[in-house]
Structures are given as C-alpha cells and as structure tokens.
C-alpha cells in the first residue's frame, strides 16, 4: 500500500510536467524535474529497507543509473515531441524513422538495465536487487500508461 501511494504521488507530479511545459520557462521545468527525481528517490528509499552498509553501496549506483536513464528519457521525450508535430499527417518515411527510434530506445533501455545489474548485485542482496527492479518497473509502467493515454494514434 505504501508503494502504491508513493507511486501515485510520483505519477501525479509527472502528469503535471507537460501542462507546466506549455506556459512556464525552462527554469521552472528544471525545478519540476528535480522535484520528481527527489520524489522518486524517496519512493525508492521508503520501499527498499536498506541497511547502513547497503545504503552506502546502493545510492551511488542508483544516482548513476538515474543519470543514464535520464538520457534515454530525454531521447524518448524528443521522439514524442517530434511525433506530436507530425502525427496527423505523418509520411511513411517519418513513421519508419519513428518506429526505428522507438525500438532503438527500448533496446538501449534493456541494455542499460543489464549493464547495471552487476553493480546492483555488488551493492545489494539478490532479493533487494529484484525489489529495486520491481519498483523501477512499476514507476515506468505508470508513466507509460499516462503517456499512452495522452498520445494519439498515427493517422
């Protein structure tokens, strides 16, 4: 239940981001991104039940992973913005490019997760590695759901 409330809070904040982006300057967007990152970190902290030793080993790995994940999310955002400009009259060539970029990002996301698995295993016991990946997957699923709900189909 605790994780669900925290994920819902994180999700609500992430949903506010596109609305704010329409009218607010870049520095306000940066503040919102930082707030969402902090809320996600709190969600992870509350649900991981780390020992002091695990805490010292885990958080640097977490921060590095989030930084790399942010680069992928930036690519996804750019792709979505490009799609938003063209979805009503998208050419076959543009659709092909869109599909290719989407699959490249997804492949890079899997590669990123695999590359961090040994680091997570060094920092945490296996059950906590699984728990962390579950938390990441739940947050990602909720964000994807919200994106899917707001992104129209290609016409």
**Structural domain boundaries of the chain?**
48-150
Which 8-state DSSP code applies to residue 33? H
> Mean per-residue pLDDT for 25-53?
85
Indicate if the pLDDT at residue 119 is higher than 80. Answer: yes
What are the CA-CA distances from residue 111 to residues 69, 79, 104 (Å)? 11, 19, 10
3-state secondary structure at position 113: helix
pLDDT 10s digits, 121-149: 999 999 999 999 999 999 999 888 888 88
Handedness of CA 98, 104, 109, 112 (dihedral sign): negative
pTM of the model: 0.78
pLDDT 10s digits, 19-35: 434 444 567 767 877 88
- State residue 57 phi and psi, 5-degree precision: -85, -35
* E strands present in the chain: none
């Amino acid at each position: 239940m605790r994780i669900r409330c925290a994920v819902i809070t994180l999700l609500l904040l992430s949903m506010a981001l596109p609305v704010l982006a329409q009218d607010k300057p870049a520095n306000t967007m940066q503040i919102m991104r930082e707030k969402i990152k902090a809320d996600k970190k709190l969600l992870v902290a509350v649900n991981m039940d780390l020992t002091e030793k695990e805490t010292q080993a885990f958080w640097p790995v977490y921060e590095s992973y989030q930084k790399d994940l942010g680069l992928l999310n930036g690519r996804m955002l750019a792709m979505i913005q490009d799609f938003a400009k063209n979805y009503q009259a998208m050419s076959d060539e543009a659709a092909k490019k869109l599909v290719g970029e989407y699959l490249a990002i997804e492949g890079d996301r899997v590669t990123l997760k695999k590359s961090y698995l040994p680091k997570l295993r060094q920092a945490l016991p296996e059950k906590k590695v699984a728990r962390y990946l579950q938390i990441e997957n739940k947050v990602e699923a909720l964000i994807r759901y919200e994106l899917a709900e707001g992104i129209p189909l290609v016409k």
